[in-house]
């Protein structure tokens, strides 16, 4: 299932108790080179705790673009520096490898899951909207 479709079905599955959260890797906020054609309408009212892992230079939604969108407060975004839509950085430019980003993503995801775990039996949020932060790591 694609990320956009998964986010659209998430609230139905949350209501039925079949899921507790959603993680999207490289969300397609808009088609490449068409930032005016947003796919974000349903994200305003999303009730499912969601982590979007996004590259800062993703052609489906860069950091600059996404930060201007009106999104549900239950959506957290982890930015991977210089990552493209596949989250891959340009090592010579950023100093990060794809493996570095996988480690950062996995550490941040574990932190995020631990933080939202309390929502499992509750539909209410404690107001802590802090974006998961794992120190980017470079392999030696």
User: pLDDT in tens for each of the 140 residues of the chain?
Assistant: 565 677 778 888 998 889 999 999 999 999 999 999 999 998 999 999 999 999 999 999 999 999 999 999 999 999 999 999 999 999 999 999 999 999 999 999 999 999 988 665 454 444 444 455 555 666 55
Question: Burial level of 22, CB count in 10 A (0-12/13-18/19+)?
Answer: buried
The model's pTM is 0.81
DSSP, res 133: -
3-121 has CATH 3.40.50.1820 classification: yes
pLDDT computed for residue 11 by the predictor = 87
Can you give the residue ranges of every domain in the chain? 3-121
pLDDT value of position 49 = 95
Contacts of 70 (CB under 8 A, 6+ apart): 40, 44
């Amino acid at each position: 299932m694609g990320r956009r479709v998964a986010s659209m079905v998430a609230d139905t599955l949350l209501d039925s108790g079949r899921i507790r959260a959603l993680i999207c890797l490289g969300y397609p906020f808009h088609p490449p080179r068409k930032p005016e054609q947003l796919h974000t309408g349903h994200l305003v009212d999303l009730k499912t705790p969601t982590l979007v892992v996004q590259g800062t230079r993703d052609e489906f939604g860069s950091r600059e673009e996404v930060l201007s969108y009106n999104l549900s407060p239950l959506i957290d975004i982890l930015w991977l520096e210089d990552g493209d839509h596949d989250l891959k950085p340009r090592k010579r430019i950023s100093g990060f490898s794809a493996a570095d980003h996988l480690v950062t993503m996995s550490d941040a995801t574990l932190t995020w899951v631990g933080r939202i775990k309390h929502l499992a039996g509750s539909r209410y949020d404690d107001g802590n909207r802090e974006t998961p932060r794992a120190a980017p790591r470079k392999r030696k």
